[in-house]
Amino acid sequence: MILKVFLYGVIVTIPVFLIEIGLSELLKQLQSFSFFASFPIIIDILKWFLAIALIEEVFKYLVVKLIILKSYELDEPLDIMLYMVVVALGFAALENILYLFSPIDNVSFNIIIKTTLIISFIRFIGATFLHTLSSALIGYFLAISFFNPKKKLRLTIIGISLATILHGLYNFSIITLQTPMNFIIPVIIILGLTVFMIYDFDKIKKVKSICKL
């Protein structure tokens, strides 16, 4: 099941990638309107928070919802967080490959090697951890939602929303903001999510196993 979920995390990257390209093109067209031309930051916010972060977090969640939440192999609340992390690892694996092998025209071999090393380091330390931690955050809210049936939808929305906001803020800060904020904010997000997830992972782990959530 873990391998299956990982592979679905890889596969779902493709439709997400295509949707993001389409939405990015749509946002480029919106830039021609005078309002958006006067406030270009709005386009950046829509791109990083909605066209990228929201789409990625929703699709990772859908993999777990469609494959895991109705499976009889799901017998511990902690499993939900673990499977969300596995989906994120599969997603990040193909996403990293797409970034590393993106076409580079008229660039020297030394620059290509340097760029590859830099991108590999940044994406391993930053983006990969961001994907796994934000997915674990959604997994936490999914886990506790099963013990609060009346608040299940609300908790799910809260989890996806928080993950989207943090994911979007991470992307927005490293691309749009200037030094040192483009470094400080991502570090705070990663460290904050790490501490939060370690605490919640331990909290969910103490919940007794049941036959079927």
Between CA 141 and CA 157 the distance in angstroms is 9
Average pLDDT over residues 53-66: 96
pLDDT at 213: 45
Q: What is the pTM of this model?
A: 0.87
pLDDT at 197: 87
pLDDT at 110: 57
pLDDT at 208: 63
**Residue with the larger pLDDT of the pair 213 and 120:** 120
Average pLDDT over residues 113-142: 77
DSSP line for the chain = -HHHHHHHHHHTHHHHHHHHHHHHHHHHHHTTSHHHHH-HHHHHHIIIIIIIIIHHHHHHHHHHHHHTTT-TT--SHHHHHHHHHHHHHHHHHHHHHHHHTS---S--HHHHHHHHHHHHHHIIIIIIHHHHHHHHHHHHHHHHHTT-GGGHHHHHHHHHHHHHHHHHHHHHHHHHSPTTHHHHHHHHHHHHHHHHHHHHHHHHHTSPP-S--
pLDDT tens per residue across span 173-187: 988 888 888 889 988
Provide the pLDDT confidence category of residue 60 given band limits of 50, 70 and 90.
very high
Provide the pLDDT confidence category of residue 118 given band limits of 50, 70 and 90.
low
Average pLDDT over residues 121-140: 84
Instruction: Please check the confidence at residue 81 and state whether its pLDDT lies above 80.
Output: yes
